[in-house]
Chains A and B, each alone.
Chain A
Amino acid sequence: MIRDLKRVRNIGISAHIDSGKTTLTERILFYTDRIHKINEVRGKDGTGAVMDSMELEKERGITIASAATHCEWDNYGVNIIDTPGHVDFTVEVERSLRVLDGAVLILCSVSGVQSQSITVDQQMKRYKVPCIAFVNKCDRSGANPAKVAQQLKDKLGHNAVMMQMPIGLEDKHEGVVDLVSMKAYYFEGANGETMVEKDIPSDMVDAAQDAREVMIDEVSLFSEELTDAILEESDITEELIRTAVRAGTISREMTPVFMGSAYKNKAVQPLLNAVVSYLPSPLDIENEAIDLDNNDESVFLESDFEKPTVALAFKLEDGQYGQLTYIRVYQGSINKGDTMINSRDGKKLKVGRLIRMHSNQMEDVESIPAGHIGAIFGVDCASGDTFVSPDVNYSMIAMNVMEPVISLSITPKDNKAQINMSKALNRFTKEDPTFKTYVDHETGDTIIQGMGELHLEVYVERMKREYKAEVETGQPRVAYRETITQKAPFNYTHKKQTGGAGQFGRVAGFVEPTEEEFEFVNKITGGRIPTQYIPACEKGFASCMAKGPKLEFPVTGIKVTIDDGAYHAVDSSEMAFQAAARGAFLEAYGKAKPVIMEPIMKVVIEGPNEFQGACMGLINQRRGIIQGSQEEGTMSVIEAQVPLSDMFGFSTVLRSGTQGKAQFTMEFSTYKQVPQSVAEEIAKQKAEEKTAQNK
């Protein structure tokens, strides 16, 4: 393990699906001598690339879960997290970005900046991750890295600076000219493993000289020494340029652009050189934690091996040897045999096996020091937990995890599937904080909740493939609620005095709307209802809240006040008063103008300016209320409130309405009364469901 943190890089590789990130990672691992044979994604031998460790990923040719891997290049330790590119798996991307110090943004040289590039870029901005760009697929027909660099500027607002020039494009792509060293690089050998340095081809010298001047001009903004050297017309050394590029990149003020073709084994090694030269080391990044013993004050963590340990569990996987917890150590170090505390629940845990991952192959290590990424075996925890030494009580600032917005019922096809399904759900909920599950006691259905339709779909498929759990899925559902809108009195007598033990209880009072979920006020005087029966009354009213009389949705926002009643010395009982309260509730409820409430989501759409009108139109068509819109550089942000029921399928509509260039996030905002027409529609649906259930 490299202990000089200046020589450590924790990087992510982020990009759009199919822009070649898995292929690039594969090449990086090959050139850094971690694997001995290159597997193509969807390769002919069916092996699949090393980073795609899940079967589903192999089949779809996309990367769903991040896999952390370690490699070494030029005496630097590089930890790589391969991140998924699809919007519905953003929690994976965001988790990776949380623990990374820098990233390589891959762009396709033909299709350029695509919608997911925009998504990923915004996430990088949110976590302030410095990045370098790699324009891949320069061997493809229509490749144009200069156009892509321009798109980086125009569409993503990056200060993109070309650091290389391609030597030939499309099928004539042979290598690159490095504008810093002013040398041409070619890649020879069966897998391009031999990087050969040559002079710049004579027909490219002038263009390269011009491009170098542009580059130096841009880069000089980040170094006074370089500016001085230019002004004094003294020698501009490679070192001067590299220092300036590094400063600009780390401060996120510039994005150096590299290019090549991972598939054709061109220019991956120069990219690796750029990773170690320009992306930050753990020492360049400030990390904060919250001191739970000191009013949640922020504390800066230092990459000091001797200080108390603070580590973040950013990913869980359930493997054949038990739970594998990926961690990033921010301070101190985790050693085999150490006792750590999970600061979320205060539980102690003993560090057993420590490993460093190479995709799905593991390598045992004795210690994971600050600044490094590794994994622990056999620790029971959830994703996002912080592990600390017993002498501190810190928590890493919570990751930006959103509440699930969509639910789906799943029914196992047979008994065996039932058992496997529970195992799968148990694992998925631990792995992914945005995936939740519960059992609906009314229908007995298992409900899964997540961030989007595709998010749930992939879990359903994973259940099938990894756990052999065949399930049938229902329609996505919205959590409606009922409430009352006006005060209404009740005076109800529950009386059953015909043979056997009698039942008698009378409760009177009123119900009224309230901001609280449920309130119960006892204003009984003179012992009209004996004190021992008051809790039974409350219980009776409270029991009605679970299922509203109108459409059987949970009831909220009701304040019940009882101010009168009657009892019978022999026939009154707790049961009788519970029944009386239930009767009273029903009596008052109808008079209190009950209404259906629906969840309203705060929706934020971010997309290129040219689609602002279109996006606002989409909100208008979905009963949404636009709260405002703002243009930030080349992007527009639209904030709106939209009923959740109208958001189903929105990602598809948004993608098609904006050529896939806009993305949205949504979070629960409030419950609001549904308009009459919608309430009628819900009532109709509910009646149909009931009829179907009774059949």
Chain B
Amino acid sequence: MLKKDLILRSPAEKALGLKNITDGRFGAVLSRAGVGKTRFLVQIALTQLLSDEKTLHISLDDSMEKINLRYDDAYTNLIDSIGYVDPQKAVRLWETVKHNKVGISYTEATFDVEKIRDYLKSFKKADLALPTILVIDGLNFDSDLSQILTDLNQINEEFGIFIWLSMQSHREESLTQEGFPVQLASHKTHIDKAIFLVPVENKIEAIVLKDGDRTNQAFVLNPATMMLEQ
């Protein structure tokens, strides 16, 4: 019951819809530095954990410890958004679901899709359920990522995992005619779902750029918690 309540509270569910989170190949969360890409990606991943699915979170910026802390924080924010929840019940639920997340920390130099493939293969070998989403946080979309995206596309095909990416845009760059940051525009054929986080006064606006059914809708988020503003 608590799981369902939490999923319904999730900003990712509100903005994208639970079904859309895993429907397709690639999704992207875009924003300028420091707005909240990673925190939104974690909220996306949380919807899967709360659905008893596995997630794999790869970061090129955060340490393993930091990744875990981000999930703890995101879960706390979600719980707090409900109002009162029996703390023991909340802790018990987190203890059960958090083990479905694996956080891997790479550097830009050591990130290698082949390693991810090896790891995912081992799920198949051990006859285990595969993660439903793969979050990759920190790839530099200002550089040429065509090979990495091709390799990731193969991962998607081979293992049926939806891949969520963070994409950093820049203040000085203007948007394309479609309203896309250039980073998304140059990879738009790959990306099925995209959400753009824009700071507006002291709030964050989450604009759905690509989606199955909510495109061009905007949602207002609290910058401290990333929860939807009432």
* CA of A630 to CA of B64, assembled, Å: 6
Q: Which of B96-104, B137-145, B172-180, B207-215 contacts A (4 or more CB under 8 A)?
A: B96-104
- CB–CB B63/A617 < 8 A: no
* CA of A625 to CA of B110, assembled, Å: 23
- CB–CB A613/B99 < 8 A: no
- Which residue of chain A has the shortest Cβ distance to B100 in the bound complex? A625
Instruction: Assess whether B116 is interfacial by the CB under 8 Å rule.
Output: yes
- CB–CB B121/A629 < 8 A: no
Most buried by A among B63, B67, B119: B119
- CB–CB A630/B105 < 8 A: yes
Instruction: Assess whether A524 is interfacial by the CB under 8 Å rule.
Output: no
Query: Which residues of chain B have C-beta atoms less than 8 A from A101's C-beta?
Result: none
Q: Report A638 CB to chain B, min CB distance, Å.
A: 9
Given A613-B114, A613-B115, A630-B63: A620 and B128 within 8 A (CB)? yes
* CA of A628 to CA of B72, assembled, Å: 14
Q: Report B227 CB to chain A, min CB distance, Å.
A: 25
Q: Report A295 CB to chain B, min CB distance, Å.
A: 29
- CB–CB A616/B105 < 8 A: no
* CA of A448 to CA of B122, assembled, Å: 35
- CB–CB B122/A631 < 8 A: no
Query: Which residues of chain A have C-beta atoms less than 8 A from B117's C-beta?
Result: 613
Instruction: Assess whether A621 is interfacial by the CB under 8 Å rule.
Output: yes
Instruction: Assess whether A627 is interfacial by the CB under 8 Å rule.
Output: yes
Q: Report A98 CB to chain B, min CB distance, Å.
A: 27
Contact pick for A612, options B65, B99, B115, CB 8 Å: B115
Instruction: Assess whether B106 is interfacial by the CB under 8 Å rule.
Output: yes
- CB–CB B64/A639 < 8 A: yes
- CB–CB A630/B123 < 8 A: no
Contact with B along A583-625 (1 / 0, CB 8 A): 0000000000000000000000000010011101110110001
* CA of A614 to CA of B122, assembled, Å: 8
Given A612-B115, A628-B67, A629-B102: A617 and B122 within 8 A (CB)? yes
Q: Report B89 CB to chain A, min CB distance, Å.
A: 15
Instruction: Assess whether B200 is interfacial by the CB under 8 Å rule.
Output: no
Query: Which residues of chain A have C-beta atoms less than 8 A from B122's C-beta?
Result: 613-614, 616-618, 620-621
* CA of A628 to CA of B65, assembled, Å: 8
- CB–CB B68/A620 < 8 A: no
- Which residue of chain B has the shortest Cβ distance to A641 in the bound complex? B99
Query: Which residues of chain B have C-beta atoms less than 8 A from A620's C-beta?
Result: 119, 122-123, 125-126, 128
Interface residues of B in 60-89 (CB under 8 A from A): 63-65, 67-68
Query: Which residues of chain B have C-beta atoms less than 8 A from A617's C-beta?
Result: 118-119, 121-122, 125-126
- CB–CB B116/A613 < 8 A: yes
Query: Which residues of chain B have C-beta atoms less than 8 A from A626's C-beta?
Result: 102
- Report how many residues on chain B are interfacial, defined by Cβ distance under 8 Å: 25
- CB–CB B119/A613 < 8 A: yes
- CB–CB B116/A629 < 8 A: no
- Which residue of chain B has the shortest Cβ distance to A609 in the bound complex? B110
Instruction: Assess whether B150 is interfacial by the CB under 8 Å rule.
Output: no
Interface residues of A in 536-562 (CB under 8 A from B): none
- CB–CB B103/A629 < 8 A: yes
* CA of A627 to CA of B64, assembled, Å: 9
Query: Which residues of chain A have C-beta atoms less than 8 A from B114's C-beta?
Result: 613
Most buried by B among A621, A627, A628: A628
Question: What size tier do the contact residues of chain A reach?
Answer: 10 to 19
Query: Which residues of chain A have C-beta atoms less than 8 A from B216's C-beta?
Result: none
Query: Which residues of chain B have C-beta atoms less than 8 A from A616's C-beta?
Result: 102, 118-119, 122
- CB–CB A621/B125 < 8 A: yes
Query: Which residues of chain A have C-beta atoms less than 8 A from B51's C-beta?
Result: none
Q: Report A639 CB to chain B, min CB distance, Å.
A: 7
Query: Which residues of chain A have C-beta atoms less than 8 A from B125's C-beta?
Result: 617, 620-621
- Which residue of chain B has the shortest Cβ distance to A623 in the bound complex? B126
* CA of A621 to CA of B118, assembled, Å: 13
- Which residue of chain A has the shortest Cβ distance to B123 in the bound complex? A620
How many residue pairs link A and B with beta carbons under 8 A? The number is 67
Query: Which residues of chain A have C-beta atoms less than 8 A from B115's C-beta?
Result: 609, 612-613
* CA of A620 to CA of B102, assembled, Å: 12
Contact pick for A621, options B65, B104, B116, B126, CB 8 Å: B126
Instruction: Assess whether B222 is interfacial by the CB under 8 Å rule.
Output: no
Query: Which residues of chain A have C-beta atoms less than 8 A from B99's C-beta?
Result: 625, 627, 641
- Which residue of chain A has the shortest Cβ distance to B102 in the bound complex? A626
Query: Which residues of chain B have C-beta atoms less than 8 A from A631's C-beta?
Result: 105-107, 110
Contact with A along B53-64 (1 / 0, CB 8 A): 000000000011
* CA of A620 to CA of B122, assembled, Å: 7
Query: Which residues of chain B have C-beta atoms less than 8 A from A639's C-beta?
Result: 64
Query: Which residues of chain B have C-beta atoms less than 8 A from A637's C-beta?
Result: 64
* CA of A641 to CA of B95, assembled, Å: 13
* CA of A609 to CA of B115, assembled, Å: 9
- CB–CB A629/B104 < 8 A: yes
Query: Which residues of chain B have C-beta atoms less than 8 A from A613's C-beta?
Result: 114-119, 121-122
Contact with B along A637-653 (1 / 0, CB 8 A): 10101000000000000
Given A613-B114, A613-B117: A628 and B123 within 8 A (CB)? no
* CA of A35 to CA of B105, assembled, Å: 52
Given A609-B110, A620-B128, A621-B126: A628 and B118 within 8 A (CB)? no
- Which residue of chain A has the shortest Cβ distance to B58 in the bound complex? A629
* CA of A639 to CA of B115, assembled, Å: 16
Q: Report A243 CB to chain B, min CB distance, Å.
A: 34
Query: Which residues of chain B have C-beta atoms less than 8 A from A609's C-beta?
Result: 110, 115
* CA of A168 to CA of B188, assembled, Å: 61
Given A613-B119, A621-B122: A627 and B105 within 8 A (CB)? no
Query: Which residues of chain A have C-beta atoms less than 8 A from B102's C-beta?
Result: 616, 626-629
Query: Which residues of chain A have C-beta atoms less than 8 A from B121's C-beta?
Result: 613, 617
- CB–CB B110/A628 < 8 A: no
- Which residue of chain A has the shortest Cβ distance to B110 in the bound complex? A631
Contact with B along A363-407 (1 / 0, CB 8 A): 000000000000000000000000000000000000000000000
- Which residue of chain A has the shortest Cβ distance to B57 in the bound complex? A628
* CA of A213 to CA of B102, assembled, Å: 47
- CB–CB A628/B68 < 8 A: yes
* CA of A639 to CA of B105, assembled, Å: 12
B residues within 8 Å of A by Cβ?
Answer: 63-65, 67-68, 99, 102-107, 110, 114-119, 121-123, 125-126, 128
Chain A to chain B contacts (Cβ below 8 Å), 30 pairs: A612-B119, A613-B114, A613-B115, A613-B116, A613-B117, A614-B122, A616-B118, A616-B119, A616-B122, A617-B118, A617-B119, A617-B126, A620-B122, A620-B128, A621-B126, A626-B102, A627-B64, A627-B103, A628-B64, A628-B65, A628-B68, A628-B102, A628-B103, A628-B104, A629-B105, A630-B63, A630-B105, A631-B106, A631-B110, A637-B64
A residues within 8 Å of B by Cβ?
Answer: 609, 612-614, 616-618, 620-621, 625-631, 637, 639, 641
6 other contacts beyond A616-B102, A630-B63, with CB at 8 A cut-off? A612-B119, A617-B122, A628-B102, A629-B64, A629-B102, A631-B110
A-B pairs, top 10 by smallest CB distance, nearest first, are A613-B118, A617-B122, A628-B64, A630-B64, A628-B103, A630-B105, A621-B126, A629-B104, A613-B115, A620-B122
